[in-house]
Amino acid sequence: MEGKNKILIVLACLVLADAFVWAEIAGFSKSADAEIYFLDVGQGDSELVVFPGGARALIDGGPGRKTASALDSIIPRFDRRADLLILSHPEADHFFGMAEVLKRYEIGAFVWSGLLSENSAFPDFLGELKKRGIKIISVSAGDRIRQGDSVFEVLSPYKTAA
């Protein structure tokens, strides 16, 4: 009987260790601090913010496909989502890379200033967001985006008088 108890204890320890490993893989153990990744996308900008609790915001998308590839190296393959796509301004070196992200990731909402671009590809990009049913949110100076205790404060552009 003593040998069976040792085997049961060893099995219980293995099951418990396995549960901790899978919890870490699944992301149940979230950091209490926000994480910010500055993505190397060439000319232009792209940053990923991972909030405590796991929500993700991608700010800008760079000029090409490098952004999606950079995200692939950070975000687990089984969890291809970004809760927010945030566009600082609609220039090609900030939004082109978002088109590839749309193909690979589930997107919660798109946040932008509402300012239109002179680039002929921008209306197609907005059309793709609408086609996919992604909520589009316009913000301006003074608006805030909250995620738990974290806050993004929008600094510009100012609302124009109509």
Q: Does an H or E element contain 56, and which?
A: strand 56-59
Q: Kindly compute the dihedral angle of the four CA atoms of residues 24, 27, 32, 36, in this order, to the nearest 10 degrees.
A: 110
For residue 15, how many other CB atoms are within 10 A of its CB?
9
pTM: 0.76
pLDDT at 8 over 90: no
Contacts of 150 (CB under 8 A, 6+ apart): 34, 51, 52
Give the Cα separation of 96 and 113 in Å (integer).
16
Q: List the structure tokens of 22.
A: 């899978």
pLDDT tens per residue, range 95-131:
889 999 999 999 999 999 988 888 888 999 999 999 9
Lowest mean pLDDT among 29-43, 62-76, 116-130: 29-43
Q: In what order do the strands lie in the sheet with 81-86?
A: 35-38, 47-50, 56-59, 81-86, 106-112, 135-138
Contacts of 154 (CB under 8 A, 6+ apart): 139, 140, 141, 142, 143, 144, 145
Give the Cα separation of 16 and 2 in Å (integer).
21
Q: List the structure tokens of 13.
A: 């320890």
pLDDT at 15 over 70: no
Q: What is the CA radius of gyration of the chain?
A: 21
Give the Cα separation of 136 and 122 in Å (integer).
14
Residue with tokens 């907005």: 126
- Tell me the longest C-alpha to C-alpha distance in the chain: 84
Check residue 53 and give its pLDDT: 87
Q: List the structure tokens of 25.
A: 């893989």
